[in-house]
Amino acid sequence: MSLGLGEERLREAIRRYNRAKRQKGLTIDQKPGCIYGMLLGDEVKDMREDLEEIKKTLRGVYVSVFLILVGLVLDMALRRMGVM
């Protein structure tokens, strides 16, 4: 019987949770309170990575728009001076 994606994720989270509980030296803030807390932490980490990717894309868009505007201003200025 093959496991579904959700069941496999839950089993992996249970294994990681059990390993985390056995580790010594973890503070309260670092140790997950339950398996679902660990899954939620995974989701938050994934969302942070997605957010960083979106930020990089937006920076590229902003730079592109800025360069287009600078090009348009230069084009208009050169046309008024009669160079073009």
Residue 84 buriedness (CB in 10 A; 0-12 / 13-18 / 19+) = exposed
Helices (H), strands (E): how many in the chain? Answer: 2, 0
| pLDDT surpasses 70 at 3 | no
Examine the pLDDT at 9 and tell me if it is beyond 90.
no
For the segment 58-75, what is each residue's pLDDT rounded down to a tens digit?
A: 999 999 999 999 999 999
Q: Is the backbone of residue 31 left (phi > 0), alpha (psi -120 to 50) or beta? A: beta
For residues 47-58, average pLDDT: 95
> What separation, in Å, do the N-terminal and C-terminal C-alpha atoms of the chain show?
73
Centre a 10 Å sphere on the Cβ of residue 17 and count the other Cβ atoms it contains: 19
Q: Give, as one character, the DSSP assignment of residue 74.
A: H
